[in-house]
Structure 1
Amino acid sequence: MRTTELVSGFRQSAPYVNAHRGKTFVVMLGGEAIMQPGIRSIINDVALLNSLGIKVVLVYGARPQINQALRNAGLEPQYHNRIRVTDDDSFRLIKQVAGALQLDITARLSMSLSNTPMQGAQINVVSGNFVIAQPLGVDEGVDYFHSGKVRRIDTAGIRRQLDNNGIVLMGPIAASVTGESFNLTAEEIATQVAIRLKADKMIGFNDVGGIVGENGEITAELMPNMAEHILYELEQQEDHCVGTAAFLRAAVTACRAGVPRCHLVSYAEDGSLLQELFSRDGIGTQIVTESAEKLRRAVISDIGGILDLIRPLEQQGLLVRRSREQLEMEIDYFTLIERDGLVIGCAALYPFPEENVGEFACLAVHPDYRDADRGTTLLKSVIQQARQRKYDRLFALTTRSIHWFLEQGFELVTVDDLPAQKKQLYNYQRRSKILALDL
């Protein structure tokens, strides 16, 4: 029987379902996303995250809706240093807009019709005074009036609701200890909630599905420093997307405060949130925490570190012996993980261009660093390199790590499936198992 796309996709997503279960995600739904025709699908997907055991805090914004409401009332939106000035007349409208959106989102999350993806779902949507605000006051002679910032967050109260399998819904209006209300940005609320909850992810949306690189493609991953550089360049453009810039600023702050990953995905492409979270390659841009470890291509000065790493495995018969001279000639094939100047992991991609395939070889990780799945990190890097070269297949030979390769999606093949040159060099006494991954 032929395996359907549904079955294949379900199987491929299973590891990510298991990995995300019990984790805390802060999802920032900007006003731009809420205006889109696909907002129903986005909210359905957020509800699906909850159904899969993910703890979800949903923070919504209303920037374009507020601006439109102000203009309809004959009021021009006022800003100072990119922060809204919220006078009395503006605030009355802002509270109306924010309140209406909260009711609309709650209603959508409560939907459970038989012909919708949320059939049978019983989602408890909780809103409340989880954020305590304080006024921004006066800056450079400009009074912000009812514009505020986060003073305190009731993390214990939020966790209680998340532990009860509820979705916590937060908007841009928050109360203060004096009983007043203030207008905050969704980005600040989402950032501070993510930081103080020690969330595993913060997720935002824009029109293009991430950060577009120089080649016109979505940049898969950014460190905070690079994201900050892109943010600076973005803000120099008069017609830049305010929502994208705001999310980048929030993501840089969150990552530097300990949130491991911030994702930016498309609100225009149906299912982009699920594709980003439950597929191997993702679809958007991740801003990730800077690390003392670096994944990079090897250079000739790394020969000593690579030899120190692979010699013990060669002596155990786990790796084929390579001389220093051979390594010097093949150094361009190697990728390594370096930590504080120490080579703690390496792997190689040997090319067989005639058959348009590559060999994943010489995988080694320092014994002190084998508890963080660095082998998988190296494999993903080699797979990416192979795909950039447009190889059809990646193969590997192993005597001990068969199950690990099978877990990574490889399949057992025969000697006859090897490239001609590799087939001639195959050691029948060593009897290595041959595994291949279609790219």
Structure 2
Amino acid sequence: MPTVFNFTFVPWFRSVAPYIHMHRGKTFVVGIAGEAIAAGKLQHLAQDLALIQSMGVKIVLVHGFRPQVNEQLAAKGHAPKYSHGMRITDSVALDCAQEAAGQLRYEIEAAFSQGLPNTPMAGSTVRVISGNFITARPVGIVDGVDFQHSGLVRKVDVDGIMRTLDMGAMVLLSPFGFSPTGEAFNLAMEEVATSVAAELQADKLIFVTEIPGIRMQPGEPASEDNPIDTELPLAAAKQLLASLPTPTEPTDIGFYLQHCVKACEEGVERSHILPFTVDGALLLEIYVHDGIGTMVVDEKLEELREATADDVGGILQLIEPFEKDGTLVKRDRTEIERDVDHYTIIDHDGVIFACAALYPYPEAKTAEMAALTVSPQSQGQGDGEKVLKRIEQRARAMGLKSIFVLTTRTMHWFIKRGFVQVDPDWLPEARKRKYNWDRKSQVLVKKL
């Protein structure tokens, strides 16, 4: 059993390493719906946030308290009132909100103070600091509805939050703000998290919510043919939002999406919607290639481009396992450095997931595509095909009539994509001289 564990743990831990390096020193604003805490998820969320912080991420945590306030109202025989998707906060509701916020802050601070042996919190020291970082203004009267003590964010104390984060503490914000006259206003967690992320120019805004994310066909039932859309470009998110009715409930498709879009428009590059029902959702979204929820992104993260000298290390890391198992011919670093401009790569968030090199033989009007490699993490997602298409475009631009590959293992993949097998004697003279007759590679050609 330990041997099996080693074989699974070691490659997994190595695959996570690029994301640990990438996120170190970054700032994440995490908004946790009050429903997640009501559902008993606080302990695991605190453990995961402590782990993320221990890997160098600066965290601002904003908690919601919708169900907790409603519970306090019910205990006082007072019905909750909403309009325009916001709570109408009368004096009773304001008292209930203050009680609920105080209780939740104690619970959250207690969750981060644990350090029992044999738990993920053992040896962790998480200092949680909260304060009057938000200045608010009243919502006022909208369409004849007086929102009373409900407010909107007027100003965020960016310097105060950044100084606290730089001290190594986690900042905890309740959905409350205070006016310059000292009046308290009840705010929406989603608006606080979005405003803070935008003002800090945070690297990520993450909502841990009741919904699993946005499906490929929004509004249709969940199925194999309708999975969660893990990456939604900002333009597509805005288009989807425009087609939906105005959201009023947290379970409406556009409820969290509208805040993700707003954050991205205001300079937060990536905004996420995650389900609190999945244990470890934060870790899966941040440290795994495809994540688990929906990420609204201000730019296409996956970039298909020609390689530069800075990519040599990433290319070597990608192809090394395939050289070891004999799928690829071994290339040393000097050769890749010399030929780096021959390579096309797919770069996702600074990690190279696919590559191939193009070596032209202009006298024979052909070129070799070599070292076509796709990371095991992203196989089956069409990355190989994207690289192949780019290589074909590059060859056509050179005025070449065909491309060829030499392979010992992946003949069928190429045949499916229009390659045909030929005799090694077909090879251009210069390439034939380097052909390894012992390896017995099959030669496949595709006309352009």
Q: Same fold judged by TM-score > 0.5?
A: yes
Cα distance in 1 for residues equivalent to 2:347 and 2:408: 35
Deviation for aligned residue 1:26: 0.4
Cα distance in 2 for residues equivalent to 1:375 and 1:10: 15
**Alpha carbons of 1:91 and 1:365: their partners in 2 closer, same or farther (altered >3 Å)?**
farther
TM-score normalized by structure 1?
0.70
- What is aligned with 2:119? 116
Asked whether the 8 Å contact 1:227–1:252 carries over to 2, the reply is: yes
Deviation for aligned residue 1:137: 1.6
- What is aligned with 1:83? 86
Deviation for aligned residue 1:246: 2.9
Cα distance in 2 for residues equivalent to 1:239 and 1:366: 53
**Alpha carbons of 1:162 and 1:93: their partners in 2 closer, same or farther (altered >3 Å)?**
same
Matches within 5 A, 1:321-360: none
Cα distance in 2 for residues equivalent to 1:237 and 1:168: 29
Asked whether the 8 Å contact 1:126–1:168 carries over to 2, the reply is: yes
Cα distance in 2 for residues equivalent to 1:422 and 1:102: 68
- 1:223 is aligned, of 206, 227, 233, to 233
- What is aligned with 1:195? 198
Deviation for aligned residue 1:11: 0.9
- What is aligned with 2:221? none
* Secondary structure, counterpart of 2:178 in structure 1: strand
* Secondary structure, counterpart of 1:158 in structure 2: helix
* One-letter amino acid matched to 1:5: T
Contiguous gaps of at least 5 residues in structure 2: 218-224, 308-326, 328-338, 357-372, 392-405, 413-419, 442-448
Residue 10 in structure 1 maps to residue 13 in structure 2? yes
Asked whether the 8 Å contact 1:365–1:374 carries over to 2, the reply is: no
Cα distance in 1 for residues equivalent to 2:32 and 2:208: 7
Matches within 5 A, 1:247-326: 247-290=256-299
Cα distance in 1 for residues equivalent to 2:103 and 2:351: 50
* One-letter amino acid matched to 1:417: R
Cα distance in 1 for residues equivalent to 2:299 and 2:382: 28
* One-letter amino acid matched to 1:226: A
Deviation for aligned residue 1:209: 2.6
- What is aligned with 1:417? 409
* One-letter amino acid matched to 1:218: I
Cα distance in 2 for residues equivalent to 1:129 and 1:366: 56
Cα distance in 1 for residues equivalent to 2:260 and 2:48: 22
TM-score normalized by structure 2?
0.68
Cα distance in 2 for residues equivalent to 1:238 and 1:58: 24
- What is aligned with 1:144? 147
Cα distance in 1 for residues equivalent to 2:264 and 2:235: 10
* Secondary structure, counterpart of 2:153 in structure 1: strand
Asked whether the 8 Å contact 1:147–1:182 carries over to 2, the reply is: yes
**Alpha carbons of 1:388 and 1:73: their partners in 2 closer, same or farther (altered >3 Å)?**
same
Cα distance in 2 for residues equivalent to 1:366 and 1:130: 52
Deviation for aligned residue 1:235: 4.0
**Alpha carbons of 1:245 and 1:43: their partners in 2 closer, same or farther (altered >3 Å)?**
farther
Cα distance in 1 for residues equivalent to 2:341 and 2:87: 52
C-alpha distance after superposition, 1:401-429 (max 9, x if no partner): xxxxxxxxxxxxx9533427568567454
Cα distance in 1 for residues equivalent to 2:130 and 2:16: 31
Cα distance in 1 for residues equivalent to 2:232 and 2:349: 20
Residue 241 in structure 1 maps to residue 241 in structure 2? no
* One-letter amino acid matched to 2:295: Q
Look at both structures and tell me which one has the larger radius of gyration over its CA atoms. 2
- What is aligned with 1:153? 156
Cα distance in 1 for residues equivalent to 2:40 and 2:346: 47
C-alpha distance after superposition, 1:314-340 (max 9, x if no partner): xxxxxxxxxxxxxxxxxxxxxxxxxxx
Cα distance in 2 for residues equivalent to 1:240 and 1:105: 22
* One-letter amino acid matched to 2:235: N
* Secondary structure, counterpart of 1:222 in structure 2: strand
- Aligned length, in residue pairs: 352
Deviation for aligned residue 1:388: 4.8
Deviation for aligned residue 1:123: 0.8
**Alpha carbons of 1:234 and 1:416: their partners in 2 closer, same or farther (altered >3 Å)?**
same
Asked whether the 8 Å contact 2:302–2:348 carries over to 1, the reply is: no
Deviation for aligned residue 1:81: 1.4
Deviation for aligned residue 1:232: 5.0
Cα distance in 1 for residues equivalent to 2:200 and 2:134: 12
- 2:213 is aligned, of 206, 210, 215, to 210
* One-letter amino acid matched to 1:20: H
- 1:387 is aligned, of 356, 380, 389, to 380
Of 69-78 and 372-381, deviating more is 372-381
**Alpha carbons of 1:232 and 1:79: their partners in 2 closer, same or farther (altered >3 Å)?**
farther
Deviation for aligned residue 1:55: 0.3
**Alpha carbons of 1:125 and 1:285: their partners in 2 closer, same or farther (altered >3 Å)?**
same
Of 416-425 and 158-167, deviating more is 416-425
- What is aligned with 1:40? 43
Cα distance in 1 for residues equivalent to 2:121 and 2:59: 16
Cα distance in 1 for residues equivalent to 2:171 and 2:264: 22
Residue 21 in structure 1 maps to residue 24 in structure 2? yes
- What is aligned with 1:299? none
* Secondary structure, counterpart of 1:387 in structure 2: coil
* One-letter amino acid matched to 1:222: L
**Alpha carbons of 1:105 and 1:49: their partners in 2 closer, same or farther (altered >3 Å)?**
same
Task: Give the % identical residues.
Answer: 37
**Alpha carbons of 1:82 and 1:12: their partners in 2 closer, same or farther (altered >3 Å)?**
same
Asked whether the 8 Å contact 1:78–1:85 carries over to 2, the reply is: yes
Matches within 5 A, 1:62-101: 62-101=65-104
**Alpha carbons of 1:162 and 1:237: their partners in 2 closer, same or farther (altered >3 Å)?**
closer
C-alpha distance after superposition, 1:145-188 (max 9, x if no partner): 11111111110110111111110000111211101110001111
* Secondary structure, counterpart of 1:417 in structure 2: coil
Asked whether the 8 Å contact 1:24–1:201 carries over to 2, the reply is: yes
- What is aligned with 1:406? none
Of 18-27 and 172-181, deviating more is 172-181
Deviation for aligned residue 1:59: 0.5
* Secondary structure, counterpart of 1:203 in structure 2: strand
Deviation for aligned residue 1:189: 0.7
Residue 59 in structure 1 maps to residue 68 in structure 2? no
Deviation for aligned residue 1:68: 2.9
Deviation for aligned residue 1:216: 2.0
* Secondary structure, counterpart of 2:112 in structure 1: helix
Cα distance in 2 for residues equivalent to 1:245 and 1:253: 12
